[in-house]
Amino acid sequence: DSGVTQTPKHLITATGQRVTLRCSPRSGDLSVYWYQQSLDQGLQFLIQYYNGEERAKGNILERFSAQQFPDLHSELNLSSLELGDSALYFCASSGPTGGAWTDTQYFGPGTRLTVL
Amino acid sequence: KNEVEQSPQNLTAQEGEFITINCSYSVGISALHWLQQHPGGGIVSLFMLSSGKKKHGRLIATINIQEKHSSLHITASHPRDSAVYICAVIQGAQKLVFGQGTRLTINP
């Protein structure tokens, strides 16, 4: 158990809909990262937040947005969903430094999103 | 050509064998990560390297910055090592690029 929690575990929805994925980092970790893993594109980095502020941005679509709240949990919002958005979405957290990927990351179990 | 190439893509070995997984990249990087993804999907960060060599238990990771190459070695492999191993390189401050992964199967 990494100490990172993600909800829900599974999500099935229809094209055009909007969903919110939630992540709670390990106690004391200030950074949260979001990743997408699809069958055809593998793992991709989406975005990093550090202590409430966006710190690094990867291949995140404009239809996707994220935020980190004062209690450090984070939410990833996916809107106008398309079939190709079906994937595993992981969040990870890391410790006190704000640099991207300079600390060991602890991954959550992932949320499997299926868009029908 | 992908910026990060892993080889082999698939590897099957017998328990006890010495395993080597390679990661080559084509751009300058500031660091490299090795990740392990279990059959159930969970991901564990194994190593973060910017130079030299690191060891944790039966796992050893090396990196040669000049040759743009990293290796992950597993000594005395065990069926529980069966997983997908993924390398990821960090370019500059904000760009992270993943390899396609190496699927390792260790047979008893």
3-state secondary structure A26-47: CCCCCEEEEEEEECCCEEEEEE
Is it the case that residue A98 has pLDDT exceeding 80? no
Range in A38-42, A87-91, B49-53, B76-80 the model is least confident about: A38-42
Does B100 sit within 8 Å of A107, measured CB to CB? no
**pLDDT in the model for residue B63:** 96
Q: Which residues contact A92 (CB under 8 A, 6 or more apart)?
A: A4, A32, A33, A35, A105, A106, A107, A108, B43, B45
- Choice between A103 and A114, residue whose per-residue pLDDT is larger: A114
Is it the case that residue B37 has pLDDT exceeding 90? yes
Is it the case that residue A21 has pLDDT exceeding 80? yes
**pLDDT in the model for residue A59:** 85
Q: A92: nearest CA in chain B?
A: B43
AA identity, residue A87? A
Is it the case that residue A44 has pLDDT exceeding 80? yes
Q: Which residues of A touch B101 (CB under 8 A)?
A: 42-43
* Chain A residues touching chain B at CB-CB below 8 Å: 2, 42-45, 56-58, 88, 90, 92, 99-102, 104-107, 109-110
Average pLDDT of the residues of chain A: 93
Sole residue written with tokens 């992908």: B2
Q: A105: nearest CA in chain B?
A: B45
CB of A43 closer than 8 Å to CB of A56: no
Q: B43: nearest CA in chain A?
A: A107
Is it the case that residue B52 has pLDDT exceeding 80? yes
- Choice between B23 and A96, residue whose per-residue pLDDT is larger: B23
- Choice between A1 and A13, residue whose per-residue pLDDT is larger: A13
SS3 A105: coil
Is it the case that residue A103 has pLDDT exceeding 70? yes
CB of A46 closer than 8 Å to CB of B94: no
Does B31 sit within 8 Å of A101, measured CB to CB? yes
Average pLDDT of the residues of chain B: 93
pLDDT, average across residues A75-91: 97
Is it the case that residue A100 has pLDDT exceeding 70? no
Classify residue A25 by its DSSP letter. Answer: P
**pLDDT in the model for residue A23:** 98
**pLDDT in the model for residue B1:** 62
Q: Which residues of B touch A53 (CB under 8 A)?
A: none
